[in-house]
Amino acid sequence: MSKITTDHLESVEQGKSVDEAQWQAQFDPYLLRRVIRKLDGMVIPFICITYLITYIDKAMMGYAAVFGLKEDLHLKGTEYSWLGSMFYFGYLAFEYPSVFAMQKFSVSKWLSANIFIWGGVTMALAACTHFQPFLGLRFVLGALESCSTPAYLLITATWYTIEEQPIRIGWWSTFLGIANAFGGLLAFAIGHIHGELASWQYQFIIIGAISSAWGVFMFFTLADGPATAGWLTTEEKHIAINRLGPQHSGIRVSEIKMYQIWEALTDPKTWFFFLCGVCTQVVNGAASNFGSLIIEGFGYSNLVTTLFQIPYGMVILVSNVSAMYIQRWLPGQKRCIVGALYVCPALAGAVGIHTISRDHKIALLVCYWVFYILPLQV
């Protein structure tokens, strides 16, 4: 296996890189395709399933709200809104500490451990009988899940070249739609359980147990990088590492350099993407915490409300997949143009919800679904 020197790595960091196509040409095309297929089959599914579980964990409170959560916790006034916000306070408070920890420790192991613990915290939510303990656990849950998205991006960058990363990120991002559909179906099924506990308690217990079990499984099966992947042969490991070549995105560097931080803070694109993220996540937060309540407010029962989350998830899935491929086909990959176009139906849906009479349930429901056409991975 060829040795990668510190000097060469520094030259790459300063932008002195070899043409990607020229670098890839040195590898046997058949072996290269075989390695990429293996990566797609052994790395991306882990991120996709984790993304699905993470979102359902976060959104489960919205499903639980229509199954008696608010009444059993004796919530008053804006307390339910505070429960939704507290998750994101924890997320914000621990975002940078989590990223720093992933610079020092194994990303896959750190993510797996957090998944295991947040599964336990999710199950503990079922034991809450008042506002205060539930509020505290929501903060802890947000703190634990703060590592998730940075971990997905770091894992993707460890295994794939810069040119390959957008489509892979698009693949696991589409699981937001699948998570909404599956979460609605899961909540509908759990809603039929009639036992000693309330339906909302069973929801937290079941999804929490699934999360913890997945965390244990991933801890022992997801490799840290190509060099430790037991499912790659020696020859395949050589290709998986060296094909990253001039970019060396799969080489682990734990040192945090101030010039990189300053470059990010002074880059206008950083702030543009920050504003885009804020705008889209305001909508995402409303969907996860209040989506079920909005549909129930149209006059539907709690079970029917959860079922209506399935087409909502499919709308997100179709819009994300279509946006992902449209922006690749356009000359110059006009991502911003595609993103702006997809905001138009979402805006129309918001206007419809605000102006249409509450007597027109179907029209309101369609507007609700259209409102969440958000091409997140553009």
Domain boundaries, the chain: 44-221+259-371
On the question of pLDDT at 2 being above 60, the answer is no
Of 17, 292, 101, the residue nearest 180 (C-alpha)? 292
Band (239; pLDDT cuts 50, 70, 90): confident
Decide: 313 and 369 in contact? Cβ < 8 Å: no
Range with the largest mean pLDDT of 159-173, 291-305, 331-345: 159-173
pLDDT at residue 30 greater than cutoff 90? no
Interatomic CA distance for residues 151 and 113, integer angstroms: 12
Q: Give the pLDDT of residue 7.
A: 43
Give the chain's mean pLDDT. 83
Residue 349 and residue 368 in contact, taking contact as beta carbons nearer than 8 Å: yes
What's the pLDDT band for 280 if we cut at 50, 70, 90? low
The proportion of the chain whose per-residue pLDDT surpasses 90, expressed as a percent, equals 34
Assigned token pair, 350: 């918001």
Give the integer Cα–Cα distance in Å for 271 and 117. Answer: 33
Percent of the chain's residues with pLDDT above 70: 85
CATH topology of domain 44-221+259-371: Growth Hormone; Chain: A; (1.20.1250)
Indicate if the pLDDT at residue 16 is higher than 50: no
Lowest mean pLDDT among 5-9, 90-94, 108-112: 5-9
Q: What angle do CA 116, 120, 121 make, to 5 degrees?
A: 115
Evaluate if residue 343 carries a pLDDT over 70.
yes
Q: What is the pLDDT of residue 148?
A: 93
Task: Report pLDDT digits (tens) over 187-230.
Answer: 899 988 988 999 999 999 999 999 999 999 999 999 988 888 98
Residue 162 corresponds to which tokens in the numbers above? Answer: 């810069």
CB contact at 8 A, 101 and 147: yes
- Which has more confidence, 73 or 330? 73
For residue 19, the model assigns a pLDDT of: 56
Lowest mean pLDDT among 261-265, 281-285, 361-365: 281-285
Report the pLDDT averaged over residues 289-303.
Answer: 80
pLDDT confidence of 13, banded at 50, 70, 90?
A: very low
pTM to 2 decimals? 0.80
Alpha-carbon distance of 141 to 115, in angstroms, equals 10
Select the more confidently predicted residue: 289 or 312.
Answer: 312
Mean pLDDT of 56-80: 90
Pick the closest to residue 184 from 70, 297, 302 (CA basis): 302
Q: How much is the pLDDT for 287?
A: 64
pLDDT score for 253? 59
Contact 140, 93 (CB under 8 A): no
Average pLDDT over residues 79-106: 91
Write down the pLDDT at residue 91: 93
- Phi and psi for 131 in degrees, rounded to 5? -65, -45
> In this structure, what token pair is assigned to residue 375?
């091409």
CA torsion, ordered 346, 349, 351, 353, to nearest 10 deg? -140
pLDDT of residue 15: 43
In this prediction, residue 283 carries a pLDDT of 65
Residue 110 identity: W
Q: How far is CA 234 from CA 180, 228, 231, 240, in A?
A: 40, 10, 10, 10
pLDDT band with cut points at 50, 70 and 90 for residue 285: low
Query: Cα–Cα–Cα angle for 219, 223, 226, nearest 5°?
Result: 170
Predicted local distance difference test score (pLDDT) of residue 377: 47
What pLDDT score does 320 carry? 81
- Tell me the C-alpha distance between 178 and 126, whole Å: 25
